[in-house]
Amino acid sequence: MESHFSDYHKELVLILDFGSQYTQLIARKVRELGVYCEIYPHDLDLKTVRSMKPRGIILSGGPSSINQENAPLCDRAVFDLGAPVLGICYGLQLTAHLFHGRVEKSPKREYGKAHIYIEKKDRFLEGVRDGDIVWMSHQDKVLAMPEGFITLARSDNSPHAAIRNEKGTIYGVQFHPEVHHTPKGKRILKNFLFGICKLKGLFSPRSFVEIATQRIREEVGKEKVVCALSGGVDSTVVAALIHRAIGKNLRCVFVNNGVLRKNEAEEVISAYKNALHLNLKYVNAEDTFLKALKGVKDPERKRKIIGRLFIKIFEEEAGNIGNVRYLAQGTLYPDVIESVSSKGPSATIKSHHNVGGLPKRMKMALIEPLRELFKDEVRIVGRELGVPENIVSRQPFPGPGLAIRIIGDITKERLDVLKEADSIIREEVEHNPAFKHIWQSFAILIPVKTVGVMGDERTYANVIALRVVESEDAMTADWARLPHATLDAVARRIINEVPGVNRVVYDISSKPPSTIEWE
Ligand code: XMP
């Protein structure tokens, strides 16, 4: 079937990364504007750059100083490819340096809000007014403009806060248009992409779905694909997408490892079967996992046991299907980027379902249809594909599940206590729209009993800890300042409704130096 969607890959914007913490944010903003972009290390070789036929190039910020020894550079010829270039912060300083301007360290670091003032009207700054606020974070600044360049705007502290070359093919800004503290930042990026690069903006979740579907059909043909479902967003969206492309030839396997949350298996199976109509094999391996975990206290051993057993069961199931050529995985773009700044934020959050050695061992080829997407895009694509909201907006849940939230021994009784307590915090926080911004909220069972009173009786029962954190990417996290009324409701309900618990405590540590999980 011929698609009426134009291929957004033809409008690629290349982002060269000089190490800024904001590089991924630039990419996300550009994509929000409907333009497909990819991030690469700053020294990507020219041949590769050329072969990608970028329609625009953005040079990111970075922590270095252009005058330092071994300052990160890009090939000067990048400016001559015919694609407009935008340098941001360090990217601007690098541009000025490569074109023989003078960049120097100022005695004072300019950090935070600043105002800009227009020096020369230009479509790049269309919609920006004198005095508008921009976000600065730099110490070096351009003091002498390179020849053939014009100043478009100055700021309180930078005489050349926005510049361009005379031809209007190279632009630079000292401030960060990608952060939300620059209110007109998105407008400026829009001006660059549509006014200067002359792009149409072909990228959208809809167009992604159409093009990904076509590609999967082309690649897979009439072969079978197997996919392990975990109930999480990534694996579910992968399955929904491949199912759209090849229907029943996608075989899904959902393994109940016994350490899922209360009613979780039933809920996700119902979504998979009734809402998504997936060809699903449900494997209830609760007993096998709990037997293997018996007496195991060490968290890393718990993880290994669960990971290995999962692979074994999954391999058996895939073997039973027979003649499966492809294994689908929910790898996302942050796992793929080889940028200088992201030496693997998400590398540490890999779920045990993303099992590296598996495809080779099983002689299967890997298909990873979400490799181009950021997490927020995966959620939008999921909604587009009809994935139910309770899965799309679900908090991250670790592969080893409740096993690493029961400190010490895992027994059926202790699991039941935790499942009940956890379901209460899910109801009060995860399912409450007021707390949508919460990254994770869950309960932990501590292997300590404390004294309490209930009626006239003295009790000696379990302690539940509550962990609720806010985070962007799980690399750092802060404990959530939940309203006292919410904390009160959760604690009261747990103590009243969960037999065997007489105390609830709230974890007020941040990451680092703590971690999100307790094990
Ligand atoms: P920590 O505890 O390291 O957790 O701050 C960071 C993020 O990773 C999740 N996590 C895991 N996910 N398998 C997973 O799939 C694991 O073994 C694992 N350990 C931690 C955790 O829930 C948080 O989102």
What SS3 state is found at 224? strand
Whether ligand 1 lies within 6 angstroms of the CB of 345 is answered as: no
Ligand 1 atom closest to the CA of 439, numbered from 1: 24
For the chain, first and last CA: distance in Å?
50
Within a domain: 513: no
Is pLDDT above 50 for 346?
no
CA of 514 to the centre of ligand 1 (A): 12
Is pLDDT above 50 for 211?
yes
Within a domain: 336: yes
Same domain for 75 and 165, yes or no, is: yes
Same domain for 14 and 79, yes or no, is: yes
DSSP string, 293-344: HTT---HHHHHHHHHHHHHHHHHHHHHHH--EEEEE----HHHH---SS-S-
Q: How confident is the model at residue 410 (pLDDT cuts 50, 70, 90)?
A: very high
Ligand 1 atom closest to the CA of 350, numbered from 1: 15
Same domain for 446 and 483, yes or no, is: yes
Is pLDDT above 70 for 515?
yes
- 102-140 pLDDT, tens digit per residue, is 999 988 888 999 999 999 999 999 999 999 999 999 889
Is pLDDT above 90 for 332?
yes
Share of the chain above pLDDT 90, in %: 89
Within a domain: 87: yes
Within a domain: 399: no
Same domain for 160 and 254, yes or no, is: no
Q: Which domain holds residue 437?
A: 405-506
Same domain for 106 and 128, yes or no, is: yes
Same domain for 184 and 222, yes or no, is: no
The question of whether 431 is a catalytic residue gets the answer: no
- Structure letter (DSSP) for residue 476: S
Q: Find the mean pLDDT for residues 268-290.
A: 97
Identify the CA nearest to 253 among candidates 284, 285, 227, 274. 227
Tokens representing 32 are 């929000």
Same domain for 430 and 476, yes or no, is: yes
- 248-274 pLDDT, tens digit per residue, is 999 999 999 999 999 999 999 999 999
CATH number at residue 67: 3.40.50.880
Nearest CA to ligand 1 atom 10: 398
Same domain for 297 and 351, yes or no, is: yes
Q: What is the model's pLDDT at position 47?
A: 97
The question of whether 89 is a catalytic residue gets the answer: yes
Whether ligand 1 lies within 6 angstroms of the CB of 187 is answered as: no
Identify the CA nearest to 371 among candidates 326, 423, 333, 426. 333
Within a domain: 64: yes
135 forms bridges with which residues in the sheet?
A: 113
| Domain C-terminal end among 363, 392, 421 | 392
Assess contact for 410 and 290: CB atoms under 8 A. yes
Amino acid at 306: I
Q: Find the mean pLDDT for residues 71-82.
A: 96
Q: What is the model's pLDDT at position 342?
A: 52
- 316-328 pLDDT, tens digit per residue, is 999 999 999 999 9
Share of the chain above pLDDT 70, in %: 95
Residues 6 or more apart whose Cβ sits within 8 Å of residue 415: 258, 259, 290, 402, 406
Residues 6 or more apart whose Cβ sits within 8 Å of residue 21: 341
- Structure letter (DSSP) for residue 85: E
Q: Find the mean pLDDT for residues 439-456.
A: 95
The question of whether 176 is a catalytic residue gets the answer: yes
Q: What is the model's pLDDT at position 357?
A: 60
Same domain for 270 and 382, yes or no, is: yes
Q: How confident is the model at residue 5 (pLDDT cuts 50, 70, 90)?
A: confident
Rounded to an integer, what distance in angstroms lies between the CA atom of residue 435 and that of residue 458? 36
Same domain for 234 and 363, yes or no, is: yes
Within a domain: 17: yes
Rounded to an integer, what distance in angstroms lies between the CA atom of residue 419 and that of residue 96? 59
Q: How confident is the model at residue 6 (pLDDT cuts 50, 70, 90)?
A: confident
Q: What is the model's pLDDT at position 472?
A: 86
Is pLDDT above 80 for 160?
yes
Q: What is the 3-state secondary structure (H, E, C) of 356-390?
A: CCHHHHCCCEEECCCCCCCHHHHHHHHHHCCCCHH
Q: What is the model's pLDDT at position 362?
A: 75
Across the chain, what does the average pLDDT equal? 93
Q: Which of 11, 178, 372, 519 is catalytic?
A: 178
CATH number at residue 307: 3.40.50.620
Identify the CA nearest to 403 among candidates 302, 265, 516. 302
Rounded to an integer, what distance in angstroms lies between the CA atom of residue 399 and that of residue 109? 44
Same domain for 379 and 428, yes or no, is: no
Is pLDDT above 80 for 511?
yes
CATH number at residue 458: 3.30.300.10
Q: Classify strands 132-144 and 56-59 as parallel, antiparallel or unpaired.
A: unpaired
Residues 6 or more apart whose Cβ sits within 8 Å of residue 10: 53, 55, 202
Whether ligand 1 lies within 6 angstroms of the CB of 443 is answered as: no
Total domains in the chain come to 3
Same domain for 417 and 387, yes or no, is: no
Identify the CA nearest to 429 among candidates 468, 473, 389. 468
Whether ligand 1 lies within 6 angstroms of the CB of 9 is answered as: no
Whether ligand 1 lies within 6 angstroms of the CB of 398 is answered as: yes
Within a domain: 125: yes
| Domain C-terminal end among 368, 392, 416 | 392
Within a domain: 31: yes
Is pLDDT above 60 for 348?
no
Model-level pTM? 0.90
Whether ligand 1 lies within 6 angstroms of the CB of 399 is answered as: yes
Name the percent of the chain in helix, strand, coil, to the closest 5. Answer: 35, 25, 40
| Domain C-terminal end among 362, 392, 422 | 392
Q: How confident is the model at residue 298 (pLDDT cuts 50, 70, 90)?
A: very high
Tokens representing 415 are 């699991």
Q: How many other CB atoms are there within 10 angstroms of residue 267's CB atom? A: 16
Assess contact for 440 and 468: CB atoms under 8 A. yes
